[in-house]
A = this chain, B = another copy of it.
Amino acid sequence: MKDENLLFRPAVRVDLEGIVGMLADDNLGRTRENPELPLERSYEEAFQAIHEDPNNELIVAEADGQLAGVLQLTFLPSITYRGSWRAMIEGVRTASSMRGRGIGRELILHSIRLAEEKGCRLIQLTTDKSRPDAIRFYESLGFSPTHEGMKMRLDKGDGKE
């Protein structure tokens, strides 16, 4: 897809309501997020922590001037692989009104380019096993499901990941 009206940029503070809205508009996300305004203070603190961290970037896709997608890209210094940098993708979401335009695909490809520019030797992500479409999507982009993604909740929350 070549979409002339699609651009990618670092998120700014005024995007935050829209980002949380996208994260909440999803089967798993609706149990985890609270898009009510004003946003919980923890969302603003997280935005600020990401903004101040040179190894974390919140990236948004904008299509036709509208917020169309989001993901978080983290650069990880690592002793393994002969002291290489890794990139990690988390929190990928496309606006439901924009699905089917290939925006998610372009957003991931954009992140892969950023990881290559940073000199990362590996890019990784985890995706819930209850999302088979997402697994196929990432496989079509060149990712391999070589690892078990293991998680443990440390709080007493009811949400599930």
Option from B147, B153, B155, B157 in Cβ contact (under 8 Å) with A126: B147
Option from B23, B50, B124 in Cβ contact (under 8 Å) with A150: B124
- A144 at the binding interface (Cβ < 8 Å): yes
By CB atoms of chain B within 10 A, which of A16, A83, A122, A146 has the most? A83
Tell me the interface secondary structure of chain A in the complex. Answer: mixed
Interface residues, chain A, with chain B CB atoms under 8 Å away = 16, 19-20, 23, 29, 32-34, 40, 42-47, 49-50, 53, 55-56, 58, 70, 72, 74, 76-85, 87-88, 90-91, 112, 115-116, 120-129, 135, 138-139, 141-155, 157, 159, 161
Known A126-B126, A150-B126: A43·B83 in contact at CB below 8 Å: yes
- Number of this chain's copies in the assembly equals 2
Q: How far is the CA of A125 from the CA of B151 in the complex (A)?
A: 7
Known A32-B80, A53-B77, A55-B53: A126·B142 in contact at CB below 8 Å: no
27 pairs, CB–CB < 8 Å, chain A vs chain B: A23-B80, A29-B80, A33-B80, A42-B82, A43-B83, A46-B85, A50-B77, A78-B90, A80-B90, A81-B159, A112-B154, A121-B155, A122-B152, A122-B155, A124-B150, A126-B126, A126-B150, A128-B146, A129-B147, A129-B148, A141-B152, A144-B152, A146-B150, A147-B149, A147-B151, A147-B161, A148-B149
